[in-house]
Structure formats: structure tokens, C-alpha cells
Structure 1
Amino acid sequence: METFPAMPYDEWVDTKDTFHRFAQIVGKVRLAASVRRNHWWNVPFHLTGRGLTTRPMDGFCIDFDLVRHRLVVDRLDGRSADMPLIGQSVASFYAGLFDILDDLGIHAEIHAVPFDLADSTPFAEDTKHAAYDPALITRYWVILSQVAQVLERYAADFCGKTSPVHHFWHTFDLAVTRFTGRKVEPPAEADPVTREAYSWEVISSGFWFGDEERPWPAFYSYTAPEPPDLTEHKLWPDWAAWIPSGGSHLAVLRYDDVRQADDPVDTALGFLNSAYRAGARTTGCDASGLASPDGVTDPHLRHSH
């Protein structure tokens, strides 16, 4: 199996747009039913051996089985129900999920409109988005799984406060965030999502599948709040770049460039580490003190190496 299979944005944008809304519906149930965690760590999905999971919530769990292409709802009392993902519009998916929840005695109230998407048609009315190509969705999950292993390897070298490797359903990216240990005061005018996400200084890294503005998948990194002179630090490899994004900058390495490298995994890791070093130097983060090479903090093991 190819480590990083091709995923041209134009080839799967219709399926992506539909599944993104499926994910937001389930994600909003997760948001409503889970215990709140710092920086919204309760909200994202985690990967499984077959797809994505909300993880257990208040007596139930929802999984996307992207091998069988089914949505599965399990109760902790052993009851279970599922429905197909293939052949659904957003409206029918929304209705089918809430029928299952009702049948299982699960009550969840959500704000049933897309979050931060250009087309904000309420889920119950959205019959336009109805594309679901199972081959493309399986490839999406394979890429998520492979990229997650790269991010886990990257995360291993840092022993400070760090997020899990998790899949944000609202922005449709896979991310891991390192915290420098410095608290910040987000702008009062910032929305509540942003204020909680960025109440500490972060160097965040991940992968996203592209959008209309940038129709190509890519690895990325950013430092927030962005320190002065961040973009003056060189990225690796040479074809990585700092690009403007919402008043700050993203370090970006396109996925297709990684795929063509002699060693794609080492190339992705090298890029992520170069972007982290830029953020660490410009924030004054104690990169040496927060290092755990190969995931090891035991001084006896470290000295033996």
C-alpha cells in the first residue's frame, strides 16, 4: 500500500463537502454530550482501526466505520444501531442519525447548521450535498491514518503540554499542538472558540485536505500568537513556504511534494521540526528542556543512548 496515496482536491471535493457536513453533525453531538476539556480537546474525533470515533460520551459512542461505510451508534448497555453512509444526502443523514438517537433513548440538542462553511444551509434542509464515493472516503481515511502516524512520531519528541493527535470536524484537519507553557490573553473581541483554543501560546502542526482558497492538501504549522520575525526563519525543505493566513502566517509543505520525495515520512517530519524550531526560537520556548527524543524522558535510558 502506498504510504501517501494521491488525493487531488478537485477529484473529491463533492464527496469531501458532503462528508464534512456528516462529520459536523456527529461532531456537534459530541460537543453537546461530552465533558468540556481545556482547549476544546473533548470535541475532535480520534482515529480507529476502521475510521473515526467520538469516543464514549454520556452512555453512548458514535463511530464512522469507513471500511463498511456505516455510521454506528453504541450504547453502554449493549444496544446498538447503524445506518449506511452511501446514498445519503446531508438531510437524510441528519434525520437518520437523530431517529437512531431517539430510538436508543439518547437526547442531544445541537445547533443544526454548518460551522464556518460558505454554504450554511441547515442540515435538515440540505439535499444538495449528497455525494459519497466510498473509494475516495476509504482513501481519505487511509491518508488520515498514515499522517496520524507521522504526527505521533513528531509528538513523541516533546514532553511538555501537548494535545492528542486528533481530527477537528469543523476545520477538517488533523492536528497536534505543542504548548510553550506561557499563558496569553486573547483579544476580548475574539469568539469563545478562539479564546479557549488560544489561551496559551502554541506551536501547532497538522495536515488539511485543502479548500476553495487553497485547493491542495498540505502539511502545515503555525505559532500563535505569531511572534515577530517568525517568517524570517528558514523552513526545510527548500520548497516549503510561509504563506499569509488570516493576518498571520502558515508554514506549508504541499502533500504532493511530500509524496514525490525519496523518503516522504522523513520529509514531512523534517518540515514539521523546522517549523517548530522557528516557533520555539521566536517565542523563547525552552525547546531543549521540553525535548524527549524518541519519546524518552527516563534519564537512565537517555544516557545509555
Structure 2
Amino acid sequence: MSHPNTSPEPWPDIPYAPWAETAVALHLWTQIMGKYRLAHTPWLNHSWHATLYVTPRGLTTGLVPDQSGMVSLALDFHDGLCVVETDAGARETFPLGAMGVSQFQAGLRDAVRAVGGTFSIHGRPNEMKDAVPFTEDTMPRPYDGAAVLQFHQALVRIERVFSQFRTGFLAKVSPVHLFWGSFDLAVTRFSGADAPPHPGGVPNLPDTVTQEAYSHEVSSAGFWPGAGIGEPMFYSYAYPTPETFSQQPVAPDATRWDAELGEFLLPYGAVRASPNPDKTLLDFLTSTYVAAAKSGDWDRKTLECDMGVPGVPRAV
């Protein structure tokens, strides 16, 4: 198995505490954007129709069907703008900055309407305790644009490795996408087997959504910027969790098992500090997937393939 070469660009330092309040605001902004996509897009398995995607400049909903045609919402972290565009060429923007969540929602609503779209969303955050409706969240929140840019640069590098990892699987595998409910960038592999009903219980999320998301066996990995953990962190879990999953050998050495979460964790700082961050992260993704597949008795011979190489068709 080949690994990516060392990244020519250093991975940025993104300690969570200095930009924690900005990160919470950004999380809530992405919820509002994602709920617009959710309101207009036909349901796709495992809520893939509602996610956001990393771009060279920030985050986007991608194309969303609306009465005015196709609409996209984007956060441009380089120019500090929220951008709403349509396939007809209409474009509206407003600046990102310190503001209440209600102010961001009002700006996005007005921009969508200005390009001919409709803006009617579920108005309360999901997967957050004590969720305050967006229109009532008027408390001014800071916006550290420099920290957001650093976070975005980390997402770009993580996206690259996640996308490489995604190529080594023949069966169903998710896009690399950002779930705005939990604010994590994720990629998920599926064994093809049905899973037992998920118990649900996620704060402010209907159990039916959680149960549909985990309708089949998965090995899932992702990245959190640090909320609830205190530092940026990679994770990997399996659902259902095989009995011997936590006992499997994994890499790198900085990886640990968190019994409370039921997941393997790897600090972003350990990846960043390694001689080859891309390879270190890919080792984590690969070894924790193998731990799930082995302990879960997946049919690895029919599910796996060599990782892709640019310009070279997969050998068959």
C-alpha cells in the first residue's frame, strides 16, 4: 500500500481554546446553511443530502434546488463573505464578522430571497444541548477571521487524506463531507450488512434520523475541531461496535481508545507534529478500519482494493 508524500505545506496549528467562541458561532452558521439545503433537497441515504463540503475558499452547500433554479450557499473565509449564487448568475453577499446568530440568519435569509430563492428552515439547532432558536440567539459572538482561516487550511489537508483513503474501498463509501449537526468532517465505509436499530438519544435530533443514518454496518472516521474535547481530534468508530474492536492493534502510537465514547481518538497535534502528517493520518484511518473490519468479520476480500493513483485505472 502506498502512502501520500509529505505535504509540501505545513499543517497549521489550530488550538481550540483561543477561537472556541468563534468556532461555536461558525458551527451555528453551518447549521443554518445546512438546514436550507435540508429543506430543499430530496432525502438521500444517511442524511448525505444535507451535508456541507470543503472548497479552496471555505465551505459550501453545493447545488441546492430552489424555485429560482439551482442555488448554492458558501462561506468564503479568504474574503470574509457569505455568498449566495444561482445558476442564472444572480449573486448576493454579506460580510462575515462578529454578530449574533440571529443576525447571520437574517443576512442569509435576505440574500436567498434577493436571488429569488425561498428561505424556510427548521429554526432550532440539532445535536446541541439547550438549543436556542436561531432567531432568539441575539448574543453578539466574536469572529476571529485568522483562526477560521487556519481551521480551513487544516480542513483542506484533512480532506486530501480522507479522499485518498476513500479510494481503497470497492463497496459503498460516503463522500468526504461536513456534518453540521456535530460539526465534523467525516468519511464512512459500509460492509453491506444490516445493523441493529440505533438506540438514538442524540440531543435535539429525531431518533428516526439517527436510526436511518445507522441502518447498516459502518466503519466511520472523522475530525472534530475540539468542542467538548478541548483539542482538535480525529476519531474512528464502528457501528455496531464489535466486542473485540477496542483490543485491535492500531497506529500511530498516539492513538488511544476512549471507553466513554466507544471510539479510537488521535490528537490533531500528534498528526501535525509527525514527520509526515499525511502518512500518519492515513495510518490511523487504515488501521482503525482494519480493526473494525477484522473484529466485525467483514468480507474484506470483496470490499477492499488498492488505493487510487492519479491517471491509473484500478486493476481488475
TM-score with structure 1 length normalisation? 0.92
Kept in 1, the 8 Å contact 2:196–2:240? The answer is: no
Aligned pairs (5 A) from 1:250-265? 250-265=263-278
Shift, 1:203, TM fit: 0.3
Residue of 126, 132, 149 corresponding to 2:143 = 132
- Number of equivalences: 299
> SS in structure 2 opposite 1:141?
helix
Structure 1, 75-84 or 15-24: larger mean CA deviation: 75-84
Give the conservation status (yes or no) of the 8 Å contact 1:51–1:66.
yes
For the pair 1:231 / 2:243, whether they are aligned, the reply is no
* Residue 275 of structure 1 pairs with residue 288 of structure 2: yes
CA distance in 1, matches of 2:231, 2:241: 24
Query: Which of residues 194, 207, 214 is equivalent to 1:198?
Result: 214
Instruction: Report 1:280-295 matches (<5 A).
Output: 280-295=293-308
Question: 4+ residue stretches of structure 1 with deviation over 4 A?
Answer: 187-190
- Asked if the contact 1:33–1:108 (Cα under 8 Å) also holds between the matched residues in 2, the reply is no
- Which one of 16, 25, 34 corresponds to residue 18 of structure 1? 25
CA distance in 1, matches of 2:270, 2:313: 39
Report the Cα offset of residue 131 of structure 1.
1.0
Q: Aligned pair in 2 of structure 1 residues 202, 89: CA closer, same or farther (>3 Å)?
A: same
Q: Distance in 1 between matches of 2:167 and 2:10?
A: 20
Higher relative contact order (CA 8 A, sep 6+): 2
Q: SS of 2:186's equivalent?
A: strand
| 1:136-215 aligned within 5 A | 136-187=147-198, 191-212=207-228, 214-215=229-230
Identity %: 37
Is residue 16 of structure 2 the alignment partner of residue 5 of structure 1? no
- Residues of 1 paired with 2:140 and 2:191: CA distance? 41
Deviation at 1:119, TM superposition (A): 4.4
Structure 2: segments with no counterpart, 5+ residues: 1-7, 202-206
Which stretch of structure 1 is more off in the superposition, 124-133 or 33-42?
124-133
Q: Secondary structure at the match of 1:181?
A: strand
Counterpart among 213, 216, 231 of residue 231 in structure 2: 216
Q: Are 2:198 and 2:214, in contact at CA under 8 Å, matched by a contact in 1?
A: no
The within-5 A match list for 1:108-123 is: 108-123=119-134
Contact 2:80 2:145 in 1 (8 A): yes
Note the alpha carbon deviations across 1:205-230, whole angstroms, 9 max, x for none: 11111123x11111111000111111
Instruction: Decide whether aligned partners of structure 1 residues 189 and 84 sit closer, same or farther in structure 2, where only a CA change above 3 A counts.
Output: closer
Q: Secondary structure at the match of 2:64?
A: coil
SS state at 1:81 partner: strand
